[in-house]
Structure 1
Amino acid sequence: MRPELLTRIDSLLPAGGDTPELARYAQMLRDYPQRGGKGIRSELLLGTARAYGVQPESPEWQRALWLAAALELFQNWVLIHDDIEDDSEERRGRPALHRLHGVPLAINAGDALHVYMWMAVRRSGVDRALDEFMQMVLKTAEGQHLDLAWVESREWNLTEADYLRMVRLKTAYYTVIYPLRLGALAAGREPAPQFEAAGLALGTAFQIRDDVLNLIGDPAKYGKEIGGDLLEGKRTLIVLHWLAQTTPEQRKEFLERMNRARTEKDAGQIEELLAWLRQSGSVRYAQDFADREARTGLRALEEALADAPERDATQALLGTMKVLATRDA
């Protein structure tokens, strides 16, 4: 995350408190933002604004920075809640907030950051930004509901189309589509209609890459538990493809282990499941699928930005999107 975004976030949050508990609360609000992260979404927003001619230090740039800060606040409060919902152990290489402070305090911190997100949106003064953020939050919540509901109901009879619908709602809108749209609005431009098709493909590629990295990534670079998706019982393209191809015996054993609570899952058995997935062709299948989505999305985004006046900034944005959709860390 850019330092100037962290500065803006810090300026919104309480400086401390007149009791030890309120001082602790102020530090909890800063915990996830200060852990860093790649700042992918805020960079897409700022890159889009630059492509449409917004110059650093201009009033439009200041508005774009406030929207970018709001996106980072969105990302952080959602992650706090997501880590609780998934019973995750780690976030960005450190224990998840609820592991450090307990679930009630972590929920409360996430709720507060949600409000500070709206404060940053208001500070931007960008027309329609409020409506864009409302739609972004609602789309993400729908996707998160599908993801969590499948785990809660132990539903595994799912298709590739089910998975794609979930990740497009949960990931593509807030990771790609709305950052592109908000960047255009910060520049005073109407968002290109093609942003949605481009973002759906690119966001899908991004999430599938993340699913792959959860199985075979470098723990030092990935920032989350390797194999965490299995511990959390996540339905991924890799798993759904593998379940359709494997033997009835392996399928039965996999589902029996997956339907246990996280605390009841044996580490050795999870390692065996990881080995089954890694040794299958399902990881390669998912990588190839992500490659196709990335190419489709990049073509659509290039068309969407055909009239953007700043060509160097446009090429930089396309380069960022290519890295995002084909990442290996």
Structure 2
Amino acid sequence: MGSPEAVREELQKRLLGHLEHPDPPYQALLQDYPRRGGKGLRGLLTYYSALAHGAGEEAGLEAGVALELFQNWVLIHDDIEDGSLERRGKPALHRLYPMPLALNAGDALHGEMWGLLLRGLARGLWGTKVLEEFYQVVRRTAYGQHLDLLWTLEGRLDLTPEDYLHMVAHKAAYYTAVAPLRLGALLAGQEPPQAYEEGGLKLGVAFQIVDDVLNLEGDEAYGKERAGDLYEGKRTLILIRFLQEASPAERERAEALLRLPRGEKPEGEVLWLWERIRASSALPWAKAVARSLAEEGLARLRPLLEGLPHPEARAHLLRLLLALVERRA
């Protein structure tokens, strides 16, 4: 078992290896997002969860790579659907290449994910339940993305915090925190306990709330366009809270802006809304919600995880779960 840094390097090496192709320009397109780095938290969580549950290192690594492949093709599609400008500090893929080529690259990575999973099945690294789990990951994430896109396309501004929590539980929380825990158990031939979903969803939702906060706070290490969520009209928990507490005049002005397509949003109006949100109680309130959810999730998971048979992997797993919200690895 290696350190998180060594495991991250191995996951990256395998990920890029799975995307090698005899056509160099095509290979460069497929490897673009994976080469941009990132913390690889989902792959690391899967690896250490597998080892903590008693699965083999090879199974943990390959399943971790499969989940990182999922993450990368979903990000390509997400950036296209949202009209995002940046990803991991560089122009989004569809800004570097014609959009159809970027979209096709996302499809290719999706196919490579299933190819890797089928090869693992043939090698005896896992059974069909691991493939079924990846199906659930794709299914649930697609539904969450559907809700997120639909709200923007329909101009929905009557949403509640409960609406947001429901959407994020599907779009981001399941594949971020629940799937790695469940995969670890499945790779070891065990049935995952229900608490993995209950606690993992809380941690995963907290992760996404923190992500939304970072988008508005302009953290240079964040790797996405600052205030990009406002340009894209994302219905975040922060925005929902701000609109609920805003004066009628401010709400009317904000809603008029949010109903405009990205390309028609005046920069000055976006700056005004960004500053008003930062001056409101919405950000600290959202941070408090994230902390509460993280504490509840860890409290649900810790008794089970502390009972896993491999202490070193278990310790790494718990630290990485904390890093989901604290943004450190």
Letter in 2 for 1:69: V
1:110 aligns with 2:106: yes
Residues 93-132 of structure 1: pairs in structure 2 closer than 5 A: 93-125=89-121, 126-127=126-127, 128-132=129-133
Distance 1:277 1:328 in 2: 26
Higher mean C-alpha displacement, 263-272 vs 302-311? 302-311
Listed as ranges, the gaps of 5+ residues in structure 2 are 1-6
1:134 aligns with 2:135: yes
What is the SS of the residue equivalent to 1:2? helix
Alignment-derived partner of residue 7 in structure 1 = 13
1:206 aligns with 2:207: yes
> Given the superposition, is the C-alpha separation of residues 131 and 296 from structure 1 closer, same or farther in structure 2, using an over 3 Å criterion?
same
Letter in 2 for 1:70: A
Distance 1:78 1:306 in 2: 32
1:16 aligns with 2:22: yes
Distance 2:25 2:291 in 1: 44
Higher mean C-alpha displacement, 295-304 vs 82-91? 295-304
1:160-190: CA deviation from partner (whole Å, max 9, x where unpaired): 1100000000011100101111122222322
Q: Report deviation, 1:328.
A: 7.9
Distance 1:142 1:201 in 2: 18
Q: Structure 1 stretches (4+) deviating beyond 6 angstroms?
A: none
Letter in 2 for 1:317: L
Distance 2:139 2:216 in 1: 29
Distance 1:222 1:36 in 2: 12
Letter in 2 for 1:4: E
Q: Report deviation, 1:121.
A: 1.2
Q: Report deviation, 1:159.
A: 0.8
Alignment-derived partner of residue 88 in structure 1 = 84
Letter in 1 for 2:154: S
Aligned length: 318
Q: Report deviation, 1:3.
A: 2.4
Distance 1:14 1:319 in 2: 33
What is the SS of the residue equivalent to 1:222? coil
1:28-71: CA deviation from partner (whole Å, max 9, x where unpaired): 001011111110111111111222234xxxxx211111111111
* TM-score normalised by structure 2 residue count: 0.93
Q: Is residue 47–residue 61 contact of structure 2 (8 Å, CA) maintained in 1?
A: yes
Q: Report deviation, 1:306.
A: 4.0
Letter in 2 for 1:103: M
Alignment-derived partner of residue 319 in structure 1 = 319
Q: Is residue 206–residue 325 contact of structure 1 (8 Å, CA) maintained in 2?
A: yes
Alignment-derived partner of residue 43 in structure 2 = 42
Q: Is residue 217–residue 328 contact of structure 1 (8 Å, CA) maintained in 2?
A: no
Q: Report deviation, 1:320.
A: 1.5
Higher mean C-alpha displacement, 115-124 vs 319-328? 319-328
Q: Report deviation, 1:319.
A: 1.7
Distance 1:73 1:319 in 2: 23
Letter in 1 for 2:248: P
Alignment-derived partner of residue 28 in structure 1 = 29
Higher mean C-alpha displacement, 4-13 vs 291-300? 4-13
Q: Is residue 41–residue 179 contact of structure 1 (8 Å, CA) maintained in 2?
A: yes
Residues 1-329 of structure 1: pairs in structure 2 closer than 5 A: 2-17=8-23, 23-54=24-55, 60-125=56-121, 126-127=126-127, 128-219=129-220, 221-327=221-327
* TM-score normalised by structure 1 residue count: 0.93
Distance 1:185 1:168 in 2: 21
Distance 2:311 2:230 in 1: 43
Percent identity, please: 48
Q: Is residue 45–residue 180 contact of structure 1 (8 Å, CA) maintained in 2?
A: yes
Q: Is residue 217–residue 226 contact of structure 1 (8 Å, CA) maintained in 2?
A: yes
Letter in 1 for 2:312: D
Listed as ranges, the gaps of 5+ residues in structure 1 are 18-22, 55-59
1:47-99: CA deviation from partner (whole Å, max 9, x where unpaired): 11222234xxxxx2111111111111100000000000000000011100000
Q: Report deviation, 1:268.
A: 1.8
Distance 2:328 2:290 in 1: 12
